[in-house]
Structures are given as structure tokens and as C-alpha cells.
Amino acid sequence: MIKEEFCLADKLGMGGQALGAMMLSNKSMKSLMALVSGLSFLGLSCAAIAKNNQPDEKPPRIASASAIVVSVPVGQVLFEKQADDVRPVASLSKLMSAIVFMEQCRHVDLDALHQMSPENRMLAKGGDRSRLTTNWSYSNRDLLKAALMRSDNRAMPALMQSCGMILQEFAMHMNRKAIELGLKNTSFTEPNGLSKYNVSTAREFTKVILEASRFEVLNQIMQTKKDVITGYKNGRAQRFQLGNTDILIGRKGVDVIGAKTGYTDIARYCFTVLNRLVDNSAVAMVFLGAEGRNTRFGDFSRVHKWLTDRVGKYFAEEGRTPSDGT
């Protein structure tokens, strides 16, 4: 395999700093490399885009207020639009919450039950209707599913309570993790993203989706289109189905490694995704501030086609197909 990992982009992370500024910590990168060990980074990350992205070719038209597309694990910026604007990120915050839970709450049994409390309900105030009922009990694993698949706003406060933390403590860990990842414009005040003070940039949030993808349990949840969770109370069991808010899962030609949606009236519609392409390369995408519910997915589709066309063109000129490998 040609060592295209070492090529450089014209625009490097964090406004022109060295490539390493966009990379993860050694520990995170080793875990991510294990996750995507079958990926080939030649086709898209450097060769295909560099060879086929000619000056007269138009980039995709993106409607989201802020967006970025970054190759993985190289950190090469393939497309960006107002990528350093600081914006509310809504329920994308739950990715950082899930990271904190996985790292700080290792003592918590994922299959143990948590009884939903009035405090869980209060911390979800102002969000969408929840299907997690007060005084009913759910496994911590099912609470993770509810948080990441359906973006239920009672789930993360419940996991925080299972971990034995209060809001201020949990938010402190979220912000410490942001600092650890080198995110200078990212901060959180609560785990759900209902607050307008949960902010980041498209550029910085690529690191969050990559960090979340280190955890296999989170990947499995984020890749699930539908699942069933069970609540328990007084010897009774109540089951209901969860659908993933990411409508791209299961779509032909789309291979989602991890993703999260978000919305508030202030943040508008947001979406981040780690996606595998036809040549087995991977990209992280972030779209913030889209006006329509499906606009963020339309932006993804336009970028996906733009990248796929260039990958296909590259391999055609080389006299190969993506399945030939590198």
C-alpha cells in the first residue's frame, strides 16, 4: 500500500496550523486505526482529490451554515465552509456525553437497571417528548441507545445519575475532554445540547465524532437503524421500538461508521457522520445550522456524490476499480 497517509493538504487543520493539530492523541489514533484497519487511504484522502479536483471544477453546493469534510485518519481538509464559526451544536453534544460516560463511568454495568427519576425529567425540559417514563427502569445500555439513536433528552441525565455525578461535575468532564482533544472553541454546560451555550465549530467537532468512534459499543449503537428497548416496573415489562434519527443508515451506497443528528431552534439542524466510501477510504463530515430537517442529509448526499465521482474518476484513469485495492 502506498504511504499516502503522509501527503499534505493546502489547508491544514485549525486555520493553517500543522497537520498534527487536526490529529487525535496517540491513544485515540491507535484505537481509530484499529477500527478502520481495513480502510485504504490512497484513493480519496490524497491522490483522487488532488488529481481530479481541478480549478475549473465546482465544489458541492452546501446549504448548511457551516460544514467541513476531513479525510481519516490523515486530517486533510477536502471541503470546508465557514468551518471555524462557533455555533450551538444541539444534540451533537450527546456524543461528548457518551465519550465521558464511557471513560469516567467504567464502574457502571451497562446491563444494570436505572430507575428514571424526576431529576432526569427536569434536565430534559424544553426538549422533544421522551418515551422514557419516570419510575420505570431501563438498562444503561438501552439508555445509551435512546440517547444516541433517538436523541432522547432524559437518557443522558439518567446515565449521568447512574454514574453518580451531578450536572456540574459531568459538564466539567465534558469540557476537560474538549481541552484534551485540543478543542479551543468547544464548551458544554449540560449533557443534552438543549443549552445555546453548548458550542463548537464544524472543524473541531470532527475530532468528537472520531473520538466517539473509538468505542465499539457506541459504534454498534450509531450504526443501528432500529432497535427495541425494554422498561420495567412492578414486575411488568414494556417494550417499544427506537428508530435512528440518521435516515442515511441502510441507504444503498452509504456506509455509516458513526453519526449523530441534532436540532434546537437556535442551533437549527445539525449532523455529523464518519462515513466509508466506495474505495474503502473514510471521511468525517460535520454540518451545522441547516434550515431544513432534511437539508443536512441533502448536503451529505451532495458531498458524498462529489467525493465518489472523483474516486471513480481516479481509478478509471488508473485502469483499476475501487475493489482492486491499493
Average pLDDT over residues 85-110: 98
Task: Please tell me the distance from the alpha carbon of residue 218 to that of residue 92, in angstroms, as a whole number.
Answer: 14
Convert the pLDDT of each residue in 220-256 to its tens digit.
999 999 999 999 999 999 999 999 999 999 999 899 9
For the chain, the domain total comes to 1
> Residue 236 is placed in which grid cell?
411488568
pLDDT at position 5 over 80: no
Average pLDDT over residues 153-164: 97
Sequence-distant (6+) residues with CB within 8 A of 303 are 60, 62, 67, 69, 79, 285
Torsion angle (degrees, nearest 10) of CA 178, 183, 189, 191:
-50
Average pLDDT over residues 315-325: 49
pLDDT at position 28 over 50: yes
The residue that leads in pLDDT, 191 or 32, is 191
Q: What percent of the chain has pLDDT over 70?
A: 78
Q: What is the DSSP letter of 58?
A: P
Q: What is the pLDDT of residue 8?
A: 28
Question: Residue 221 is part of a domain; what is its CATH number?
Answer: 3.40.710.10
Please tell me the pTM assigned to this model: 0.84
Q: What is the pLDDT of residue 280?
A: 79
Q: What is the pLDDT of residue 54?
A: 53
Q: What is the pLDDT of residue 57?
A: 65
By C-alpha distance, which of 224, 220, 222, 320 is closest to 279? 320
pLDDT at position 51 over 60: no
By C-alpha distance, which of 43, 49, 81, 45 is closest to 62? 81
Residues serving a catalytic function are 91, 94, 151
* Mean pLDDT of the residues in the chain: 84
* H/E segment holding residue 247: none
Task: Please tell me the distance from the alpha carbon of residue 68 to that of residue 206, in angstroms, as a whole number.
Answer: 8
Angle 202-212/26-35 helices, nearest 10 degrees? Answer: 70
Task: Please tell me the distance from the alpha carbon of residue 173 to that of residue 97, in angstroms, as a whole number.
Answer: 9
Q: What is the pLDDT of residue 53?
A: 52
Q: What is the pLDDT of residue 221?
A: 97
Average pLDDT over residues 170-191: 98
3-state secondary structure of 144: helix
Average pLDDT over residues 313-324: 51
Domain of residue 29: give its range: 4-324
Q: What percent of the chain has pLDDT over 90?
A: 69
Q: Pairing mode, if any, of strands 255-264 and 236-243?
A: unpaired
Average pLDDT over residues 130-151: 97
Report residue 58's pLDDT band, with 50, 70 and 90 as the boundaries: confident
> Residue 13 is placed in which grid cell?
487543520
Q: What is the pLDDT of residue 27?
A: 52
Sequence-distant (6+) residues with CB within 8 A of 316 are none
Task: Please tell me the distance from the alpha carbon of residue 50 to that of residue 32, in angstroms, as a whole number.
Answer: 24
Q: What is the pLDDT of residue 75?
A: 86
Q: What is the pLDDT of residue 278?
A: 76
Average pLDDT over residues 174-198: 98
Average pLDDT over residues 266-291: 93
For 138, how many CA atoms within 13 A lie in the half-sphere containing its CB?
A: 29
Task: Please tell me the distance from the alpha carbon of residue 230 to that of residue 239, in angstroms, as a whole number.
Answer: 4
